[in-house]
Amino acid sequence: MYEREMRKCFRLAKKGYGKVSPNPLVGCVILDKNGNEISNGYHRRYGENHAERDALLKLTPSEAKGGTLIVNLEPCNHYGKTPPCSDLIIKYGIKRVVISTLDPNPKAYGGKEKLEQAGVEVITGVLEQEGRFLNRIFFNNIEHKRTYIVLKTATTIDGKIGTSSGDSKWITSAGARELARKFRQEYDAIMTTSSTVLADNPQMLHRNKIILDRNCRLDFNLNIFKQGNIILINGNNKKYNQEPPFNVQMIYVEEKNNKFNLKDIFNKIYGIGIMSVFVEAGSKLNGEIIKQDLADEIIQFTAPKILNDNSGISCYNGEKAEKISATKVYELKELKPIYPDYYARYVRK
């Protein structure tokens, strides 16, 4: 019961991708006494109205009274950027509230109990697994207090991201590349390395870009520095010959054996409010992230091409597993064609 309306909440919530972080994605549908939809809303942008408030304020209390409110996350019970949604629901005389997932945030939860104390019927757990997957970044941030890490790759069928000569343009189709650019916008920042920047001189359009440049190799005239906020990860307080542009923030990380401590990097960017990272880099960084078991999710685009070259550049270049039992295991969550290619989404098991 209420699955259809909850799925609409999910669709509405997704309109907030890339705009509501560090808040969760939330959509809301309101039914009248007869079960007819009379309003809906979603959390549009961080600092603006939550989904329940967005939907309720389109109605008068007399229109909403006795109705059912469906929302994918427990209504909040605290004063933040806006007042508690639970109070407004009670004020509008809503009879029943249907929730997919309870809020794990200790600052915000308690809405369910407040509603029940006011005589509102509360139903929880409707499409709970789907609701948790929708807000997997939010749940990860609250429960584990760390940045959610997504690896994106584009490979041939035999798992190569380039030929032995270094040629990699273009493995996948224009349609696949456009979809990958859309995926970028769902995350707080994109991450790459100086090697990728020097090889491709990309723009990598995004409001926040993180570049690992251990040996200060980059020139600030490269395309990637022309727009957005840049976070440069630098090793052992090394200095650039140029003055960094106004849009560049430097973060220094200790090195060990001529390598960055990746956990330290992700801890530091979490500390400055980056809740999710979309990694687009080469095989070495990909391999090291997998080796250290840091990837929460992998989005892999695959083209119907075979290099048939053992010397080609592999998607992951890290510490190899000696046994199948030692491999990193992910769960397939999504598989879709983007003719002639396809993409698969995997999450940590």
Q: What is the pLDDT of residues 50-72, one digit of tens each?
A: 999 999 999 999 999 999 999 99
* Residue 170, H or E segment: none
CATH code linked to domain 146-188+275-349: 3.40.430.10
Total residue length of the chain: 349
High-pLDDT (> 70) share of the chain, %: 98
Indicate the domain borders of the chain: 3-135, 146-188+275-349, 192-274
Q: Tell the residue number behind the tokens 């650039």, with chain if given.
A: 240
For 222-255, the pLDDT digits (tens) are: 999 998 999 999 876 678 888 889 999 999 888 8
CATH architecture of 3-135: 3-Layer(aba) Sandwich (3.40)
Q: In the 8-state DSSP scheme, what is residue 9?
A: H
The stretch 87-105 carries a mean pLDDT of 96
Two domains, one topology: 146-188+275-349 and 192-274 = yes
Pick from 84, 90, 48, 49: nearest CA to 69: 90
No. of helices (H) and no. of strands (E), the chain: 11, 18
For 107-137, the pLDDT digits (tens) are: 777 899 999 999 999 999 999 999 999 999 9
The answer to whether the beta carbons of residues 147 and 265 sit under 8 Å apart is no
Say which residue, 260 or 178, is predicted with more confidence. 178
Say which residue, 308 or 297, is predicted with more confidence. 297
One-letter amino acid at 25 equals: L
- pLDDT in the model for residue 241: 84
**Over 80: is that where the pLDDT of 105 sits?**
yes
Tell me phi and psi for residue 233, to 5 degrees.
-95, 120
Q: Tell the residue number behind the tokens 């920042």, with chain if given.
A: 189
342: Cβ–Cβ under 8 A, 6 or more apart, which residues?
A: 301, 302, 335, 336
Please state whether beta strands 27-31 and 68-73 pair in parallel, antiparallel, or not at all (unpaired): antiparallel
227 in helix, strand or coil?
coil
46: Cβ–Cβ under 8 A, 6 or more apart, which residues?
A: 19, 20, 21, 22, 23, 81
Q: Determine the straight-line distance between the first and last CA of the chain, rounded to whole angstroms.
A: 29
pTM of the full structure: 0.92
Pick from 13, 272, 302: nearest CA to 130: 13
Q: What value, to the nearest 5°, has the Cα angle with vertex 14 and ends 349 and 151?
A: 40
For 272-302, the pLDDT digits (tens) are: 999 999 999 988 999 999 988 999 999 999 9
**Over 90: is that where the pLDDT of 259 sits?**
no
263 in helix, strand or coil?
helix
DSSP alpha helix (H) spans, the chain: 3-13, 51-56, 61-64, 85-91, 111-117, 128-134, 136-144, 174-184, 194-200, 262-271, 283-291
- pLDDT in the model for residue 267: 93
Q: In the 8-state DSSP scheme, what is residue 66?
A: T
The stretch 194-202 carries a mean pLDDT of 90
* Record: fold of 192-274: Dihydrofolate Reductase, subunit A (3.40.430)
Pick from 22, 9, 63, 13: nearest CA to 269: 22
Q: Which residues are catalytic?
A: 52
Q: In the 8-state DSSP scheme, what is residue 127?
A: T
**Over 70: is that where the pLDDT of 80 sits?**
no
- pLDDT in the model for residue 75: 95
**Over 80: is that where the pLDDT of 311 sits?**
no
Average pLDDT over all residues of the chain:
92
Say which residue, 242 or 92, is predicted with more confidence. 92
